Structure 1
Amino acid sequence: MPTTSCTPRDLPPIAPPTLKARLASALRGVALDTRPLAHPVFRRLLIGQAAAYVGTMVTGVTIPIQVYALTRSSLSVGLTGLAGFVPLVVFGLYGGAIADRFDRRTLYLASACLTWTVTLALLFQAVADLSSVPLILALVAVQAAAFAVSSAARGAIIPRIVPAPLVPAANTLYFTVGNVGQVAGPLVAGILISLPNGYSWAYGADAVLFSVLLYSALNLPSIKPTGSGLRTRGLRSVFDGLRFIAAAPVLWMSFAVDIAAMTMAMPTALFPAAAQLRFGGGVGRLYSALAIGSVVAGLFSGWIGRVRRQGRALAIAVTAWAAAIALAGTVHQLFAAAVLLAAAGAADLVSAVYRETILQTYAPDAMRGRLQGVFTVVVGGGPRLGDLRAGAMASATGLGVAWTGSALLCLVVVIVGALLVRPFWRYTVTPAQPSAPPTAPEAAHQP
């Protein structure tokens, strides 16, 4: 049988990729990484949290609007942040220590039940028309304590239920669904509050949505901490976590830039006054704009996990946040303000992913609960102090200085601090250690 041979000259030419193919390849490179959804435990946790995010944001918008309606004071709105700050600090730190000693699933479920109970209490005060700001502040304080404990437990759970290389993608998914909730929550709150007995409808919606999280928490496997953290008790374990952070410039600087961003450049306490005095309404759109930007950034976040200089990326993202917030405080058109707030929200999503990822991959599992507790204090307490700062400044200096002036100060502080702390500025992520294998109960819960 005769044989034939092909020389390179005989082969048909390889067609160059079409523009459509190049665009598809580029989009795959930047699109949201959904690989963590292949892990059933993570998927259940995310679904429950997604529903709770919407309800929590409905309540988060309703509380300041109700307080402002009762008092006509931005300072009183700011006090809602102060009411939650002390319990957040105490229970964030100690809750993180508990998460390094006991089953994290049990802790997460118990704190979620407490949060749901507080929501029911907010519903009751609205239905009964008690019109009591002190009662609302007290409920905010209890809610903050429960949030601190649940956040510490949840943050320590994530690195145990997805492989280490997927931790950035898992965090991005969490922050993205959270920001979807922040988009939907204010819009739903705005609709429900406009109804007769609107506050009751808003708190009731939160109670229904949060029940989905309770169901998902019930179906989580047992996730007990590993390592020496099991032998460390009481306040000593809290101080062990603080000493670990103090010895690591990368960690404490990641916390510091977030504190600066939230305390100096968080304008949300000013939204009710700005909507009424400057924009003639639209408070829901102001709250939603930040989250819309974060959602868009999350949908095109595939590049985030490929960045190795995470300290530098975090500093740049916080700087972009402060600059966009400062500009938003200078405009008098609602649409322009919303666009700038959306840009700030996009920068915030990027910074949030890097902060969480640095913490979760830098620490051993035995320390994750305590460090996550500190993270919860910073992330949750910063905005509350920012609310207090913004409300007090607005009462003393006016809206412009409280919004733009403070954001510009944040911009300077972050740039100078990041450049001075060289280990943070030069921090380059190294290949992560493999995650701990699933425990027997975890494997049993996998369908």
Structure 2
Amino acid sequence: MGFGELVRRHGVDTRPLGVLAYRRLWAGQGVSFIGFQLTSVAVSAQIYDITKSSFWVGMLGPANLIPLIVFGLWGGAIADAVDRRRLLLVGALIAWSATLALLLQAALGMTNIGLLMATVAVHATGFAITGPTRGAIIPRLIPVDLVPAANTLNYLVSGVGSALGPLIAGVVLAQGGFTFAYLIDAVLFGAGFYAAVRLPQLKPIGEITRPGLRSVVDGLRYVSGHPIVMMSFVVDIIAMAFALPRALFPEVVAERFGGSLIAFGWLSASMAIGSVLGGLMSGWVGRVQRQGVALTYVIAIWGLTVAAAGLVGQLWLMVALLAFGGAADLVSSVWRQTILQTHAPDDMRGRMQGVFMVVVAGGPRLGDLRAGGTAAWFGATGAWVGGGIACAVVVIAVGMSVPTFRKYRPAVRSL
């Protein structure tokens, strides 16, 4: 097999970038996501700096989770009933206002934890609206057979942002402090907003249901009536709630690496680095047919890799192991997103993406809460390693127990 054939078969599929509207959305998301991740790291570091407690860092979980559940489901229902471009702009402005509030608090030297948590909740509200809306937009911009490739590109550019954001945060926090970090995010926000402004009108098609409790319930009923979709959510919750160790990063850095902000930046970026590398070699992902089994085992690998990372003392090895786990997480994310976007009708996609947002963004917040809470009892290392092992055991037990999920093969293949 020649080098060109190797790249074609295993390299990332870039065909969706040929669609101008998608390319703008993709690029804008990539730039603005760097700032989003920088702020996420800065908030965690700021709260630990104020409280010296992993418990309070873990409390960022519910501060984010509650708005994500409420506004993720509601935002998804609205996305099925209004112009999705306009809704994307509204959600972006809400998130931006929260970033400006964090900037103002840092500039004034305010250390009120309650106010910080409330601001984070507002930021999560904007994210909960834009996330499902953006996911529902993609199948309207590109052909169905390119959706898996578009999802891979989305996760790839998000991975780049998730890698660069924390790495930049380590330097920025060490040199300029929290104020400068939030200022950078406020500036980078403009790229994503510009991309949303340049989108075409995306008015709803198909049956329009008035957004509200009934439409949310209809979406949840759709999920419960489709076991494949339901299980794709369940295994992701297991992965994040049991194994995600990020709330433990500040304490582990303090214990093992002398509180180095550079080490904190590398740990925060490690999974995203793996996601980027995995995305660059993702051409094979769309050719996997038994995706239910594959999802189960990939998530088990993620859990065991995280557990191994918690046992090592060298920063480079910890980063390498977490990066491998990040590559596994990217693969599972592409399969789960593609199932939703290609199986749900357009008039249900917003609600499906709302549920997806609650699970994908809410699961890590449960993981933060779990990690912070168990660390108070078992220490950071016990909470880290135990969670990874529990993830592997539980996901195999649950994933292999549902025949329809175990035997699932996709109806649409990427080329």
Instruction: Confirm or deny: 8 A CA contact 1:116 1:211 kept in the other structure.
Output: no
Instruction: Confirm or deny: 8 A CA contact 2:287 2:413 kept in the other structure.
Output: no
- Matched with 2:312 is 331
- Matched with 1:343 is 324
Pairing partner for 2:58 from 72, 78, 81: 78
Shift of 1:432: 7.1
- C-alpha distance in 2 between matches for 1:147 and 1:233: 18
Give the counterpart letter for 1:227 in structure 2: G
Pairing partner for 2:222 from 244, 261, 268: 244
- Matched with 1:61 is 41
Q: TM-score, normalised to structure 1's length? A: 0.90
Shift of 1:24: 2.5
- C-alpha distance in 2 between matches for 1:270 and 1:171: 29
Instruction: Confirm or deny: 8 A CA contact 1:61 1:189 kept in the other structure.
Output: yes
Instruction: Confirm or deny: 8 A CA contact 1:164 1:432 kept in the other structure.
Output: no
Count of paired positions: 411
- Matched with 2:140 is 160
- C-alpha distance in 1 between matches for 2:273 and 2:307: 18
Instruction: Confirm or deny: 8 A CA contact 1:317 1:351 kept in the other structure.
Output: yes
The answer on 1:148 being equivalent to 2:147 is no
- C-alpha distance in 2 between matches for 1:204 and 1:23: 44
Q: 1:431 to 1:182 in 2, by over 3 A?
A: closer
- Matched with 1:439 is none
Matches within 5 A, 1:200-349: 200-228=179-207, 230-280=208-258, 281=260, 282-349=263-330
The answer on 1:415 being equivalent to 2:373 is no
SS in 2 for 1:420: coil
Q: TM-score, normalised to structure 2's length? A: 0.97
Instruction: Choose 54-63 or 231-240, whichever is displaced more.
Output: 231-240
- Matched with 1:114 is 94
- Matched with 1:44 is 24
- C-alpha distance in 1 between matches for 2:129 and 2:413: 26
SS in 2 for 1:101: coil
Shift of 1:385: 1.0
Structure 2: segments with no counterpart, 5+ residues: none
Shift of 1:430: 1.4
Once the two structures are superposed, what CA deviation does each residue of 1:374-396 show, in whole Å capped at 9, x if it has no partner? 00000011111110110111111
SS in 2 for 1:224: coil
- C-alpha distance in 1 between matches for 2:343 and 2:243: 27
Once the two structures are superposed, what CA deviation does each residue of 1:126-171 show, in whole Å capped at 9, x if it has no partner? 1111112111100111111110111010010011101000001000
Pairing partner for 1:169 from 127, 146, 149: 149
- Matched with 1:388 is 369
Shift of 1:232: 4.2
Instruction: Confirm or deny: 8 A CA contact 1:266 1:386 kept in the other structure.
Output: yes
Q: Which has the larger radius of gyration?
A: 1
Pairing partner for 1:404 from 385, 390, 409: 385
SS in 2 for 1:327: helix
Shift of 1:279: 3.0
- C-alpha distance in 1 between matches for 2:294 and 2:341: 17
Once the two structures are superposed, what CA deviation does each residue of 1:100-149 show, in whole Å capped at 9, x if it has no partner? 11111100010001111111111100111111211110011111111011
Report percent identity of matched pairs. Answer: 50
Alignment RMSD, CA only?
1.2
- C-alpha distance in 1 between matches for 2:201 and 2:394: 43
- C-alpha distance in 1 between matches for 2:86 and 2:413: 28
Give the counterpart letter for 1:210 in structure 2: F
Matches within 5 A, 1:10-21: none
- Matched with 2:9 is 29
Structure 1: segments with no counterpart, 5+ residues: 1-20, 434-447
Instruction: Confirm or deny: 8 A CA contact 1:32 1:299 kept in the other structure.
Output: yes
